[in-house]
Amino acid sequence: APGKADAIARANIALAKYWGKSDDRLNLPAVPSLSITLDPMRTETRVELDERLDADVFELDGKVALPKETARVTAMLDRVRAESGIAAKARVTSRNHFPTASGLASSASGFAALAAAARAAYGLTRDDAKASAMARRASASAARSIYGGFVELPAGEPGDDALAAIPRHDASHWDLRVVVGVITEGRKDVGSREGMGHSRETSPYWRAWVESAPAMCGVIREAIAARDYERLGPVVEQSFTTMHALAFTSSPSTMYFQPASIAALQTVKQLRDRGVPVWPTMDAGPHVKAVCPGEAAAQVEQALAATPGVLRVLHARPGAGVEVG
Ligand code: DP6
């Protein structure tokens, strides 16, 4: 076995949202989701086997990670050890190259990079479907970051531990851009894992979400295949508003919107009223992510940057899948 490997994986933004699980233990999504893997937000991870260690060591952005974070890394490494038959513990060093507070979670790129690097370090032959399934166990959105471009993660039947993402089109398929309006730093939101669990337990709309999400994902899949922005945009919006309606109607309510989120959503609507093709999406936080064709990106950036409460804007484009070295 090589004993040491590096991997780079990128963040992703879901156009069709994953929200809620069908199996908590295996971390299987109750709905299909579809995302764009993004440049330039990425994580670089090195895994080095070390016979002298009696526990894995995880260093994140130059600091020894919290026990809770290390436990999630060890859980993944335990699976790699079981598959490879090599018992050695490992030193894991991970670095995020994210524009500060981008509002694009680093857990997806982080677990994707870890899965790929760990499999290589323990001498397993490269197998992206297995790496994707392994990343999914840690964080379902991470399954999608194994692949570049436009990637779907199907809903999982309880027990289906092999569930992996499916690459639909590579990054060159369509020059869509994601312009992020960064809104507030610091304030801690309800994490997606906690938020989606709470939605399933308490929102009266849970069943409606599970029943309606596959059709939305299907339209998004078809619109991407046809590069049909006019068909894509409204459903991208509806996927996120339906997800947030679920969070909003959980009890007690989980609300991710800040006043500036609403202002940014209005900016996006006003741009559209002026003929600019742009539709919004949001995740488990206040940031507004505007999705538009490349030609519209400069105008969208300018308008979002001028919106009160938007601290800065970031610009992302379709990026490559995991790179293992
Ligand atoms: C709103 O993948 O972070 O970003 O599987 O519990 O780790 P776990 O959840 P996570 O949820 C992502 C939710 C989302 C939508 C999406 O990325 O599809």
Mean pLDDT, each 10-residue run in order, the chain (325 residues):
90 98 98 98 97 96 94 97 97 90 84 98 98 98 98 98 98 98 81 95 98 98 98 98 98 96 98 98 96 98 98 96 96
Q: Is 173 helix (H, G, I), strand (E, B) or coil?
A: helix
> Ligand 1 centroid to 257 CA: how many Å?
17
Residue 101 backbone class (left: φ over 0; alpha: ψ -120 to 50; beta: rest): left
pLDDT score for 98: 85
Q: How far is the CA of 192 from the centre of ligand 1 (A)?
A: 6
Q: Which of 139, 192, 243 to mutate to test the pocket of ligand 1 (most atoms within 8 A of CB)?
A: 192
Residue 185: predicted pLDDT = 75
Indicate the DSSP class of residue 184: -
Measured distance CA(18)–CA(281) in Å, rounded: 13
CB 118 within 8 A of CB 90: yes
> How close is the Cα of 193 to the center of ligand 1, in Å?
7
Q: Specify the pLDDT at position 105.
A: 79
Distance CA 142, CA 15 (A): 15
Closest Cα to residue 289, out of 240, 226, 218?
A: 240
Start-end of H helices in 249-310: 259-273, 297-305
| 34 contacts 15 by C-beta, under 8 angstroms | yes
Q: Output the pLDDT for position 228.
A: 98
CB-CB neighbours of 56 under 10 Å:
22
CA distances from 6 to 47, 97, 140 (A): 7, 15, 22
Q: Omega before 252 cis (within 30°)?
A: yes
Question: What is the number of other CB atoms lying within 10 angstroms of the CB of residue 34?
Answer: 27
- Residue 187: what pLDDT? 64
Q: Which two tokens stand for residue 21?
A: 């699980």
ipTM passes above 0.85: yes
CA nearest 10: which of 139, 109, 136, 143?
109
DSSP 118-163: HHHHTTPPP-HHHHHHHHHHH-HHHHHTTS-SEEEE----TT-TT-
Residue percentage of the chain with pLDDT more than 90: 94
Residue nearest to atom 14 of ligand 1 (CA): 283
**Look-up of token digits 């971390």:** 27
* Nearest atom in ligand 1 to 136's CA: 5
For 127, the token pair is 């197998």
